[in-house]
Amino acid sequence: MAEITCREALNQALAEEMERDPRVFILGEDVGLYEGSFKVTRGLLARFGEKRVVDTPIAEAGIVGLACGAAMVGLRPVPELMTVNFAIVALDQIMNHVAKVRYMFGGQVEVPLVIRAPGGGGNQLGAQHSHSLEPLFMHCPGLRVVAPSVPADAKGLLKSAIRCRDPVIFLEHEGLYGVKGEVPEGEHLVQLGQADIKRPGRDVTLIAVSRMVYVCLEAAEMLAGRGIAAEVVDLRCLNPLDMATVIASVRRTHRAVTVEESWLTGGWGGEVAVRIMEAAFDELDAPVLRVGGADVPMPYNHELEKAAIPDAEAVCRRVEELF
Amino acid sequence: MTEPKEAGLPEREELFTLYRDMVRIRLFEEACPRLYSQGKIGGFLHLYSGQEAVGVGVAHALRQDDYMIGAYREHGLLLARGSRPHEVMAELFGRQTGCSHGKGGSMHLFDVDRRFMGGYGIVGGHLPLAVGIGYSILYQEGDQVVVCLFGDGATNQGVFHEAMNMAALYHVPVVFVCENNGYGIGTSVRRASAVEELYKKSCAYQTPGVKVDGMNVLTVLQAVSEAVVRAREGGGPTYIEALTYRFRGHSISDPGTYRSEQERRLWKERDPIPRLAALMTTQGLATQEELAAVDAEEKALLAEAIHFAEESPDPPREELWQDIYAEPWPAVILPEKGTIPHG
Ligand SMILES: Cc1ncc(C[n+]2csc(CCOP(=O)(O)OP(=O)(O)O)c2C)c(N)n1
């Protein structure tokens, strides 16, 4: 198997799907000539031409709305929003249009599109460029929400998302583009809505997505030194949410901590924690605890920013409260 | 479109101030990449080199009690407005003494004393804020004016049109200044806007549209002054397109290779700083030595500012939880002890 970066894995997924299905096209700010601000779309304009790799004005609502319209009449758009923070500019299109059209018209029309959006903190980009907004999209029925952590999943999930008949918001972490990992050769699909156990353990289940999976793996390593074997579940998708895998894990470990980069209040961790309690209360030896981003607009100062984003130490502290 | 009137030459003293302010900005901006590579500045860094004539021309058309508001390429706007380079640099360093107390960084500078109402990172997002500031001025029957600066890219956002329409509808004292530097990151205006002559976008809102040479501080000053007078006298908004150029890439991480060498050279020849210097010396209003003395003073000031930033402390950890709400904690209902994993 080849070792490639997340960035390359996503690029391969896009190229392969465009090759396979002539209805797939990409649009977004600087995705063409400039090859994407994170270079995920490198080489695609040269390979597929201007009709299928469209540089747009800085107009997020327009980009998503255009994609929605095109999807309703048969195309498979993959709009890129430069960062998820700008998805807020397009939130009306995403939540009032993309997510609702199928239902509102009694299933007469489908909106098969994939909104790709990088996000996440850690680069001192300040409050308007740093947030993780997974819960916002998970809150909205009608949208599929995907957030991969490793290159193989990034590729397999993006390919599945493009083939999915529902609208998908595909959240990439800016800090993971350079991360390398093995990606199977040839056609590689990962089914949407299937969590993955990234590290097995018997004492506590850590539940995460995207970059927080790495934080959990680091925490698991530290906990192992303290005699606690942590299992790390990578949800990979927040809608559909694979509670079966989570519950099965909790039945083995009897303890759980959710770990998210998004704001803790109203975050997805609360949702998952309550579902665990609803489904497996009797299995729990301790309350489900949460770790999340500080409920503050992201500060610029490096030290303050570090304090606002969960790290392995914070995860370990929470885990130790369970015993 | 209305062309601004032929610019009359300001007093010698004012010319020196215009020159000094442009030099201050240029030196500041050209020091930033070095400080960035030393790890003293982090995050995104969008430099203003080349566009100084716009910010300085705008600032000099305003009274102390007028307002300015801009986007993320705003270091130069604050310096032109009179903020000390010390607090601006300290902010880039993320220090407590910075003009946003280390919480904002390069893209989010603020100076309440100088009525600089912020730098914003969402393209076009601050335009309605300018309309709101203008509305508040009318509401309180003041005669201040707001100047709102933004890039060419912002004019393709829906919010630009909403703001223009409301500004015209409510007749607010806002001067919209579009700094058309030809590019939004790597995409040229030609490839992003159906209307390439951006001043024409004001037609839809029956708002005067003015095009000026943004590489000439005097024409910018003239055009903005006229618009400010109109706004102050109840004449409503004006929309000015200043044609300019950024000498560097979009941000520190962008080499700007999508622009041809020839294009860059042509614009470099129109550099607003040597241009004003040449005008001053040929008109006999300044000598080379006098201008060189200004340069030297400004270098010394910048060194002081960098020193100030370096010596300033980081914000304390508790700052993370400060400034989120205006109401003190007792006014907020706290959850039971033990349920807040943070703090
Ligand atoms: C809503 C939104 N979309 C995208 C971006 C990413 N972005 C930052 S600057 C920029 C280019 C803006 O160009 P322009 O408005 O012309 O200003 P300039 O950078 O030329 O000063 C883009 C696309 C953003 N900050 N906000």
Tell me the per-residue pLDDT of B182-215, one tens digit each, with 9 for 90 and over.
Answer: 999 999 999 999 999 999 999 999 999 999 999 9
Superfamily for the A2-183 domain:
Thiamin diphosphate (ThDP)-binding fold, Pyr/PP domains (3.40.50.970)
DSSP conformation letters of B189-200: HHHH-SSSSGGG
pTM: 0.94
Assess whether the C-beta atom of B152 lies below 6 angstroms from ligand 1: yes
Return residues 233-262 of B near A (CB < 8 Å): 258
Read off the pLDDT of each residue in B239-251 and give the average, rounded to a whole number.
Answer: 98
For a pLDDT cut of 70, what percent of chain A falls above it? Answer: 100
Read off the pLDDT of each residue in B137-166 and give the average, rounded to a whole number.
Answer: 98
Tell the CATH topology of A196-321: Rossmann fold (3.40.50)
pLDDT at B1 over 70: no
What are the Cα distances from residue A144, in Å, to A71, A166, A323? 15, 7, 36
| pLDDT value at residue B329 | 63
Calpha distance A304→A124 (Å, rounded): 10
- Per-residue confidence in pLDDT tens, chain A, 323 aa: 899 999 999 999 999 999 999 999 999 999 999 999 999 999 999 999 999 999 999 999 999 999 999 999 999 999 999 999 999 999 999 999 999 999 999 999 999 999 999 999 999 999 999 999 999 999 999 999 999 999 999 999 999 999 999 999 999 999 999 999 999 988 999 999 999 999 999 999 999 999 999 999 999 999 999 999 999 999 999 999 999 999 999 999 999 999 999 999 999 999 999 999 999 999 999 999 999 999 999 999 999 999 999 999 999 999 999 99
By annotation, the residues of A acting in catalysis are: 60, 129
For residue range B316-339, list pLDDT tens digits in order.
Answer: 999 999 999 887 665 555 555 444
The helix/strand/coil state of B320 is: helix
| pLDDT value at residue B331 | 54
- Asked if B17 is an interface residue toward chain A (Cβ–Cβ < 8 A), one would say no
What are the Cα distances from residue A249, in Å, to A242, A321, B128, B260, B291? 11, 19, 50, 58, 73
Please state the separation of Cα A218 from the chain's center in Å. Answer: 19
Tokens of A35: 């090859």
| pLDDT value at residue A146 | 98
For a pLDDT cut of 70, what percent of chain B falls above it? Answer: 93
pLDDT at B4 over 70: no
| pLDDT value at residue B332 | 57
Q: How far is A185 from chain B (nearest CA, A)?
A: 33
Return residues 78-97 of B near A (CB < 8 Å): 91, 94-95
Question: How far does the centroid of ligand 1 lie from the alpha carbon of residue B183, in Å?
Answer: 9
**Residues B47, B106: contact at Cβ < 8 Å?**
no
Same fold, A2-183 and A196-321: yes
Nearest to B103 among A55, A61, A300 (CB): A300
| pLDDT value at residue A163 | 98
Read off the pLDDT of each residue in B30-36 and give the average, rounded to a whole number.
Answer: 98
The protein residue whose alpha carbon is closest to atom 17 in ligand 1 is: B151
Name A83's Cβ contacts closer than 8 Å, sequence gap at least 6.
A117, A118, A119, A129, A174
| Ranges of each domain in chain A | 2-183, 196-321
Region of residue A210 (left: phi > 0; alpha: psi -120 to 50; beta: else): left
How much is the mean pLDDT over chain B? 94
Residues of A with CB under 8 A from a CB of B: 29-30, 33-34, 37, 55-62, 85-86, 88-89, 123-129, 264, 289-292, 294-297, 299-304, 307-308, 318
Assess whether the C-beta atom of B184 lies below 6 angstroms from ligand 1: yes
| pLDDT value at residue A1 | 84
Tell the CATH topology of B12-341: Rossmann fold (3.40.50)
Read off the pLDDT of each residue in B271-290 and give the average, rounded to a whole number.
Answer: 97
For residue range B100-144, list pLDDT tens digits in order.
Answer: 999 999 999 999 999 999 999 999 999 999 999 999 999 999 999
With CB atoms and an 8 Å threshold, state whether B191 touches A61. no
Q: B5 pLDDT band (50/70/90 cuts)?
A: low
Nearest to B121 among A34, A128, A318 (CB): A128
For residue range A66-124, list pLDDT tens digits in order.
Answer: 999 999 999 999 999 999 999 999 999 999 999 999 999 999 999 999 999 999 999 99
Assess whether the C-beta atom of A59 lies below 6 angstroms from ligand 1: no
Question: How far does the centroid of ligand 1 lie from the alpha carbon of residue A22, in Å?
Answer: 31
pLDDT at B310 over 90: yes
Which amino acid belongs to residue B219?
T
Assess whether the C-beta atom of A86 lies below 6 angstroms from ligand 1: yes
Assess whether the C-beta atom of A89 lies below 6 angstroms from ligand 1: yes
Question: How far does the centroid of ligand 1 lie from the alpha carbon of residue B123, in Å?
Answer: 5
